[in-house]
Every structure is written in C-alpha cells, then in structure tokens.
Amino acid sequence: DLVNDAIGFIEKREKEAKEFEKFRESKMGSRPLSGMHTGFTDIDIITDGLPYGISLVGARPEDGLTDFGLNIANKISRKHKVAYISPDLPAKVLVKRLMSCEATVNIRNMNEGFLSEADFPKLTIAAHRFSFGDNLTFYDKKGINPWEFSEACKYMQKEHGTELVILDRFQGLFPRGESSSGESYYWKAREIAGLMHDLVSESGLALMLLSEVKKKKKGERITTAHLRDFGVFEYDARPI
C-alpha cells in the first residue's frame, strides 16, 4: 500500500507540474523566460523570470518570508544551482521546512511526530530528491558579516557553479543587538548595499535579498518607502 501511495503521489505531482506549465504558457505564451523560472506565475509575468542582478523581497514579520524564499529556491534549483544563506536559522531547520512544503505535510505534525501512514511515502520521496540533488546548497554560519557573505558567494560560484544566492534575511548581516533604526544603521546598510552591488557586478550572480519591513497598519500596502530603512537597495534592485 505504501508503494502504491508513493507512486500515486509522484503521478499527482507530475500531473500538477504539467498543468502548471500549460497555465503559464496560456498567460505568457510559449516563449522562454529571459530570467529563471520561479514557479510563481504572477512573479514570472511581472519580471519575465528572476533576472541576474539584485532582487529585493520585502515583507512584514510573520508573513512567511522564509517559506517564500525556500519555495523560490526549491523551484529554481530544478534547473539552476542555488545557494540559500541564513545567518539566523540552522540548515536542518530550513531543510525540514522545505521537506514539509515539498511533501505537503504539516510541519507541526513532523515536529511532534504525529504523522499519518500516508505522510511517510511523501516524506520519503521528498528526502530522496534532496539527498540526490546537488543543485541546492544551504549555508548557515551564524554571525556572518557582509564581507564573509560576499566571499562565500564567490567561493560557491567558483566551486559549485552557483547561479542564484538567496540571503535570508538581510538584517542578519548586522551585528547582534544593533538597532534597526537610527542614522548609524542607515549608513551601515548603505555601505552593505554598495558591497552587494559590487558583488553582482563582478560575478554576474543573481542575488535575492529577503528583508523584513517595519510593521504597518493592517491592510496597508508595502511601498519602496518602507524598504529605505534597510539601505538604498530600492535603487540597485531590479525587481522589488
């Protein structure tokens, strides 16, 4: 029964992938994207695929920023080399969250051990995919500074052929305890923005920066003005 469940799950995911591709083509036409396919049709339509250079993603705390970044990494790593760098979360936590998404299994049930019989083949397939695939790399050094981040990106590009680096979160490059407000923070962020700009100019990498914005009123739309607390990335980034 478990084998049949696993086969059924694979067939279902393959069918969903084909249906998604048909939907994408109906929206965008059959021409190839100029950037990397993100797996999110609306984003691909707006950006024509994730471009090389700096992309900035801003979201309020608890809006699922990490899960969004992991989904992007998962989809793009099907065809491109991706590195996911997190100064805050250990790699094992990120992999568990990614497996939960890939297998469509509730992460709380995974953490507490309350898994149904149908969950095991899904997790087995997800684990198999990540154990044999070498397109997605996690880097979770705590306390990494901007210069170490830049050197890590260059190393992964040289040694592994990395094309996309996702940084989760930009604020994690700041020293622990440093305030996210005030003039000193702004100028520090501005200095880091220059370093990132030099990195993509020299390497040709695609760099996606995930950044938290300050909490605003419920329902208020995020604008570039909300991102200016984190440097001048709104000027360097292509899509925001």
Mean pLDDT comparison of 62-76, 108-122, 171-185, highest-scoring range: 62-76
Q: In this predicted structure, what is the pLDDT of residue 55?
A: 87
When pLDDT is averaged across residues 13-29 and rounded to a whole number, the result is: 61
Question: Taking 90 as the threshold, does the pLDDT of residue 236 lie above it?
Answer: no
Lowest mean pLDDT among 7-11, 82-86, 117-121, 162-166: 7-11
The reported pTM is 0.75
Q: In this predicted structure, what is the pLDDT of residue 23?
A: 61
Q: In this predicted structure, what is the pLDDT of residue 207?
A: 92
Looking at per-residue confidence, does 223 or 32 come out higher? 32
Q: In this predicted structure, what is the pLDDT of residue 179?
A: 45
What are the tokens at 236?
């360097």
Q: In this predicted structure, what is the pLDDT of residue 240?
A: 47
